[in-house]
Amino acid sequence: MLSSEIEIDIRFSETDAMGVVWHGNYLKFFEDGREAFGKAYGLEYLTIFDKGYFTPIVKSEIDHKAPVYYGQKIKVITKYIPAKSAKILFEYEVVNLTTGELCAVGKTMQVFLDKTSRTLELLTPEFYHAWKVANLAQSN
């Protein structure tokens, strides 16, 4: 399985009035995880853009399990989930490194849009198919 990890120090600006990480910031943490994954495996946003595509999020899920507070440190584990169709799937775990607790789990789905016409690509782009073949073969 292809996965990556990134550690994040929780800043004051990421918390709400109760001192807890605001729930919307978990999507930002997932984005940080995707960027780290892209750098680790050659699937960066600019690479995708240079190939002629956007990859917007069309579905996201978060299951909050435990709070995270200002000053704590988290680890975001991003796991690539292979899909047969023209989409990119990730699953996430957010672990509080200060307490050791699993704080959140989630999923995202991205699709391919032609960057010029902004139309949905129903077939897997050739560059992405080649990336999957190369990277999934190495992970087995």
Q: What is the pLDDT of residues 103-125, one digit of tens each?
A: 999 999 999 999 999 999 999 99
Q: Which residues are catalytic?
A: 16
* Residue 6 · residue 33 · CB < 8 Å: yes
List pLDDT tens digits, range 41-63: 999 999 999 999 999 999 999 99
Question: N- to C-terminal Cα distance for the chain?
Answer: 8
CA angle at 77 for the pair 95 and 19, rounded to the nearest 5°: 35
What's the pTM value of the predicted model, to 2 decimals?
0.94
CB 112 within 8 A of CB 125: yes
For the domain bounded by 3-135, which CATH number is listed?
3.10.129.10
